[in-house]
Amino acid sequence: MARTGSSRPVTAICWVIDNVEILGVFPADTHSPVLYPIALVQGAKPEAQGLLNFLASSQAAAIFSRYGFTVPK
């Protein structure tokens, strides 16, 4: 994350990424859940269905869980 050019510290609200110092975490009960909807659009390539199928699989759910995501049942 680039600095703004001022000498004041820069603070931002962001998703967890590498090389960022985490100063705090908002409690889950203080905001609506963060959702990542996914859908196929008309004219999508056939490979897109494969990606959608993978993202809905138990294998993908394990990966999401490992990185701190809550996976809906």
Taking a C-beta distance cutoff of 8 angstroms, is the pair 72, 60 a contact?
Answer: no
Domain ranges of the chain: 36-73
Tally of CB atoms within 10 A around 57: 11
What is the pLDDT, as a whole number, of residue 47? 92
Q: Does 41 score more than 70 pLDDT?
A: yes
What is the pLDDT, as a whole number, of residue 42? 93
What is the pLDDT, as a whole number, of residue 71? 84
Q: Does 2 score more than 60 pLDDT?
A: no
Q: Which long-range contacts (CB under 8 A, 24 or more apart) does 60-67 make?
A: none
How does pLDDT run across 44-60, given as a tens digit for each residue?
998 999 999 999 999 99
User: Model pTM?
Assistant: 0.58
